[in-house]
Amino acid sequence: MILEALAYLAIPCASHLRRMGYPGELVAIAARYRRRRRDWADHLANSRCVVEDAIARTRGRSRAVVLGAGLLHDVPLAALAAAFAEVELVDLVHTPWTRWQAKRLGNVRLVAADVTGTLASLADFGGPDLPVPEPSLGTAPADLVVSANLLSQLPILPIAWLDRRRCEGLALSADAIVEFGRSLISSHLDLLARQAGTVALITDVERMTFDARRHDRPLVESEDALLGVTLPWSGREWIWRIAPAPELHADQDRRHRVVGIPNIRESATT
Ligand SMILES: C[S@@+](CC[C@H](N)C(=O)[O-])C[C@H]1O[C@@H](n2cnc3c(N)ncnc32)[C@H](O)[C@@H]1O
């Protein structure tokens, strides 16, 4: 607990992002990773494999950009740094660990940016119209763009933030909040589709809950991680054992279905 509080304070971050919970979320992911390293191993290896495959499919060797770089668990950073003259890691917040990893390699730069272009106005939102997403890479175009387990995360804290404001009396319907979340997802997909180079996309698409009290672990709930937005491309699929019992609940096993696409332009459209 003390270590987590120190880690939280050590993350430099704009105050509106701190209010919305972003550094806290990264600290929570780091803590869960430490507890669930073995359960996450396949998912992280599969994700890194998709990025390595994307590197092999990319002709240009000037720049690679990773969106949602986070704690770099799923990013083969050394392979990227060896393959490209310059690598940029884009995220809202960068932890001291990520800074250290970047510095060690010499050609890796950190970019602090909001790829949805909405969070600054959302933090002070008083109604009536929600901001329109202005999706961006946060940096210049690149030979390879990787969206690394970011897509389904884009609406989570914004929706939680707006739900809280709604409970405090802000006149906003629950439907409008979910619709806003959807717009963050679809505008990120549009952004990826517009890129000229190789684009690798790794994202969870389904969140499943299994009954851990029973031997046969039946599925009890399934939730669309993309809020009903259809992924326009198909790729490899695997299951991420994100929170086996009792990580979140003594009687629930949580698993996510993940899709990994090394290059959206070479994938079959769905
Ligand atoms: C689940 S993590 C991705 C996993 C990460 N690649 C890793 O290995 O740790 C999602 C990341 O997306 C970042 N993120 C969420 N919303 C963002 C936004 N609007 N712009 C940029 N980064 C964002 C979070 O800060 C977090 O680091």
Residue type at position 24 = G
- CA 116/CA 138 separation, integer angstroms: 9
Atom of ligand 1 nearest to the CA of 93: 25
- Ligand 1: distance of its center to the CA of 72 in Å? 10
The per-residue pLDDT for 12 is: 79
CB 18, CB 157: distance < 8 Å? no
The per-residue pLDDT for 250 is 86
Print pLDDT tens along the chain (270 aa).
566 666 666 777 899 999 999 998 888 888 889 899 999 999 999 999 999 999 999 999 999 999 999 999 999 999 999 999 999 999 999 998 899 999 999 999 999 999 999 999 999 888 789 999 999 999 999 999 999 999 999 999 999 999 999 999 888 999 999 999 999 999 999 999 999 999 999 999 999 999 888 888 899 999 999 999 999 999 999 999 998 888 888 899 999 999 999 999 998 666
The finding on whether 139 has its CB within 6 A of some atom of ligand 1 is: no
Q: Hey, is 257 helix, strand or coil?
A: strand
CA distances from 165 to 122, 123, 171 (A): 11, 10, 9
- Which of 150, 180, 183 gets mutated to test ligand 1 (max ligand atoms within 8 A of its CB)? 150
Does any ligand 1 atom lie closer than 6 A to the CB of residue 135?
A: no
Of 65, 153, 161, 242, best ligand 1 pocket probe by most atoms within 8 Å of the beta carbon: 153
pLDDT of residue 1: 58
Task: Establish whether residue 143 lines the binding site of ligand 1, counting it when its CB lies within 6 angstroms of any ligand atom.
Answer: no
CATH class of 39-266: alpha beta
| Ligand 1 near 253 CB (within 6 A) | no
Q: Would you say the CB of residue 51 lies under 6 angstroms from ligand 1? A: no
**How far is the centre of ligand 1, averaged over its atoms, from the C-alpha of 152 (Å)?**
10
Long-range contacts of 9-14 (CB under 8 A, 24+ apart): 10/95, 10/96, 11/93, 11/94, 11/95, 11/96, 12/93, 12/94, 13/92, 13/93
The answer to whether 210 and 218 are in contact (CB under 8 A) is: yes
Answer yes or no: is the C-beta of 156 below 6 A from any ligand 1 atom. no
Which DSSP helix (H) or strand (E) runs through 177? helix 174-194
Ligand 1 within 6 A of 115 CB?
yes
- Which residue's CA is the closest to the ligand 1 atom numbered 14? 68
95 C-alpha vs ligand 1 centroid, how far in Å? 12
How many angstroms separate the CA atoms of 227 and 249, rounded?
23
Q: Determine the Cα–Cα distance for residues 82 and 248; give it in Å rounded to an integer.
A: 38
Structural domain boundaries of the chain?
A: 39-266
Give the per-residue pLDDT at 200. 98
Q: How many angstroms separate the alpha carbon of residue 25 from the centre of ligand 1?
A: 9
Q: Which atom of ligand 1 is the closest one to the Cα of 73?
A: 8
